[in-house]
Amino acid sequence: MARTKEFDRAQVLHKAMLLFWEKGYDGTSMADLLETMGISRSSMYETFTDKHSLYLEAAQLYRRTSQEKRKFLLEAESAKEGIRQYFERHIDGSFREDTPMGCLVTNTIVNVDSPGDEINVLMRAHFDELRVAFLELLRRGQESGEIAADRNVEDLAYMLLTINHGINVAAKLNNSRERAESMIEMVLGML
């Protein structure tokens, strides 16, 4: 019984994640969630406490996917190659048609205004980890001579993070992914 419940839990959490991703936190009603997850209101509250807790779990699940993408930065031998591979995966994930457009985190964050809120704290941690991963890779690139010594790597890391956010917004606008790919190649040439 416990095993069955565990299995269902992962499955319904995945469904909830896709719905939050598509509609954002505020845009997802409890009625939508129950229909998509295919569970009763009482099971929902028993298993996930409330919408806010469910969202936090869904965001953690989504984050694990993002962490795989960040491996390209953490494990890269060449700074430019690592950044290229990261953005290839990022653009691929943002523009792919079998999942909602954009990024679950960006889709939510623009509707979250309370900075002390747990969701906002999670978002900030998520993006700060990404900024630091860019920064450390750029530093390694500067040490190896791949990145020009006079570049300010703090500014460069922040620029890559800002471009990362912007690609998620562009994907929601159904802009062409070729444009995003072409831009990244140009940026790599500027580093």
User: H or E segment at 159?
Assistant: helix 153-172
Q: Which of 163, 169, 175 is nearest to 83 (CA)?
A: 163
Is 186 a binding residue for a copy of itself by CB under 8 A? The answer is: yes
Task: Please report, as residue ranges, which positions from 8 to 27 form the binding site for a copy of itself (by CB under 8 A).
Answer: 22-24, 26-27
First-last CA distance in the chain: 56
**Number of amino acids touching a copy of itself (CB under 8 A):** 48
* Dihedral sign from CA coordinates of 138, 178, 186, 156: negative
Q: Is 169 in the site for a copy of itself (CB under 8 A)?
A: yes
93 within 8 A of 21, measured Cβ to Cβ: no
Give the one residue of 13, 18, 34, 163 binding a copy of itself; rule: CB under 8 A.
163
Phi, psi of 69 (to 5 degrees): -65, -40
Of residues 37 and 153, the one with the C-beta less far from a copy of itself: 153
Is residue 132 involved in binding a copy of itself (CB under 8 A)?
no
Q: Which is nearer to a copy of itself, 11 or 169 (CB)?
A: 169
Residues lying near a copy of itself in the complex (CB under 8 A) are found at 22-24, 26-27, 100-102, 106-107, 109-113, 115, 120, 123-124, 127, 151-152, 154-156, 158-159, 161-170, 172-174, 179-180, 182-183, 185-187, 190
